[in-house]
Structure 1
């Protein structure tokens, strides 16, 4: 019998109504408590998030899996990277 190895559905972190730099700071703290390889949807209304979230992922070693424009904001699917020493 084979085990089901499908990834667990990503949680959603509602960051709507927060402005720069709060979405990135809160995402950083939330991701720090997650295991590498797990995924998190970030939902934002801050127009600068389309610049800030991808830059944060790149700088922090996380993978930006998907970005979507939604009514009133954006959604970002982030996969937690390996911890940096």
Structure 2
């Protein structure tokens, strides 16, 4: 299981706002964003769904993508993921 890594806000190549969306939509939106990203690009996922704290790092691990970390930003979270392959 992945360990949560907290980071400062990063400069992402693009951002996906999925506030107020829950399982499984948050993972479907992440999958769509990953298909659009180029290798090495960083995606920022903005969500208020606390289930994402487990789901997104696990998704990255299973798919071979790099979970850089997350930033808690008030009432929501910013997840940073680098496309590796």
TM-score interval for Structure 1 and Structure 2 normalised by the shorter chain: 0.7 to 0.9
Larger relative contact order (C-alpha < 8 A, sep ≥ 6)?
2
How many pairs align?
75
* Structure 2 unaligned regions, length at least 5: 1-10
* Structure 1 unaligned regions, length at least 5: 1-7
Structure of greater Rg: 1
Contact 2:48 2:76 in 1 (8 A): yes
Task: Give the alignment's Cα RMSD to 1 decimal.
Answer: 1.4
Q: Which residue of 2 aligns with 1:69?
A: 72
With normalisation by structure 2, the TM-score equals 0.81
With normalisation by structure 1, the TM-score equals 0.81
